[in-house]
Amino acid sequence: LSQLIGAGMLAAGVMALATPVQAADYTLKFGHLANDQNIWNKAAMHFKEAVEKNSDGRIEVQVYPNEQLGNEMDMINSIQLGTADMTITGESLQNWAPKAAMMAVPYAFEDSKQLEKAVDGDIGSEIEAQITERTGLVPLTWFERGPRELTSNREIKTPDDLDGLRLRVPNVPLFVDTWQALGARPTPMAFSEVFTSLQQGTIDAQENPLSLIESASLSEVQKYVNMTDHVRSWIYVVIGKRKLDSMPDDLQKVVRDAAGDMQSYERELFAQDQKRLEQALKDKGMTFVEVDKKAFAEKAMPAIKKALNPEQTELLERIEKL
């Protein structure tokens, strides 16, 4: 019997080899900074499945988590050069498109509803148009993020506690200005370098939504989650305009529809995650610290307003009225 099974398996193997492998007409290289357990990666894998199925294999999607294809800034450059095609990016785009800063102005959004009104309304359209015009990237869809919190190895309750704290921020000039005004020593750095830098002590702290704090295992190198809630933001999944335009209309539609599906899928995962994350981080030994949020907002606000240029200020005033 075992010989028969062996022969059958061998035959199946030969047949599999003999079946010609149809190479895809288009390959989308999709790199991002989160790890494979993070909901962004689960959403990206969901997108991959939908695109490959609905294009009958004419499009292949290769997903690279963990900055394997390059850090966030590199990814933007690579997509512009055509050596990569898709990524997940947000306020870092302000380095090209100033309006993208509005995605993450500290203390700008009070809740998810106000944020959704901004992204799905005229404000979002204007931001997306400027991103495409200045960077050649097309936002396909967006994900809401949890509020950004400050992690550290000493408790931070008031801005005075920040004195001299060496804090990693992403490559976002507005975040540098904000944390400098608050009294910390912010330094921009790629996400993939954060864990090692905290471990080696070249930085003391970092700030991110709980989701990335968990998936990057920052609980191993940080003791406190100081609940600053200082930024509510969204993030875009983008694709290179030239790549998208190079595809026939039916395949562009496959990509856009799959992006819509990915958004609904990610939204469910996000809601589940938000319920789970605080306890999960406590279970990993992190202590959550109540923060005098008002003191933070009041101290940061003048610097934030000063950092905004006239077109950004105009958008912020419209956000405040939503």
Residues at the interface with ligand 2Q2 (CB under 6 A): 33, 72, 89-92, 170, 172, 191, 208, 212
Q: Is-contact 228 150, C-beta < 8 A? A: yes
CB of residue 231 vs ligand 2Q2: minimum separation in angstroms?
8
Q: Is-contact 35 215, C-beta < 8 A? A: yes
Q: Is-contact 186 169, C-beta < 8 A? A: yes
Q: Calculate the dihedral angle through the C-alpha atoms of 107, 111, 113, 117, rounding to the nearest 10 degrees.
A: 0
Interacting residues of 256 by C-beta distance below 8 A, sequence separation 6+:
140
CB of residue 233 vs ligand 2Q2: minimum separation in angstroms?
7
Please say which residue, 51 or 238, places its beta carbon nearer to ligand 2Q2: 238
Q: How far apart are CA 318 and CA 322, in angstroms?
A: 7
281 DSSP assignment: H
CB of residue 12 vs ligand 2Q2: minimum separation in angstroms?
45
Please say which residue, 55 or 124, places its beta carbon nearer to ligand 2Q2: 124
> What tokens appear for 90 in the block?
């947000």
CA dist list (Å): 314 to 96, 121, 279, 311, 318: 18, 15, 39, 5, 6
Q: Is-contact 107 304, C-beta < 8 A? A: yes
Please say which residue, 98 or 170, places its beta carbon nearer to ligand 2Q2: 170
Please say which residue, 96 or 288, places its beta carbon nearer to ligand 2Q2: 96
> What tokens appear for 321 in the block?
């009225």
User: What one-character-per-residue DSSP string does 271-285 give?
Assistant: HHHHHHHHHHHHHTT
- In the chain, DSSP finds a helix count (H) and a strand count (E) of 12, 11
CB of residue 21 vs ligand 2Q2: minimum separation in angstroms?
36
Please say which residue, 29 or 148, places its beta carbon nearer to ligand 2Q2: 148
CB of residue 172 vs ligand 2Q2: minimum separation in angstroms?
6
Please say which residue, 54 or 215, places its beta carbon nearer to ligand 2Q2: 215
CB of residue 93 vs ligand 2Q2: minimum separation in angstroms?
6
CB of residue 232 vs ligand 2Q2: minimum separation in angstroms?
11
Please say which residue, 58 or 148, places its beta carbon nearer to ligand 2Q2: 148
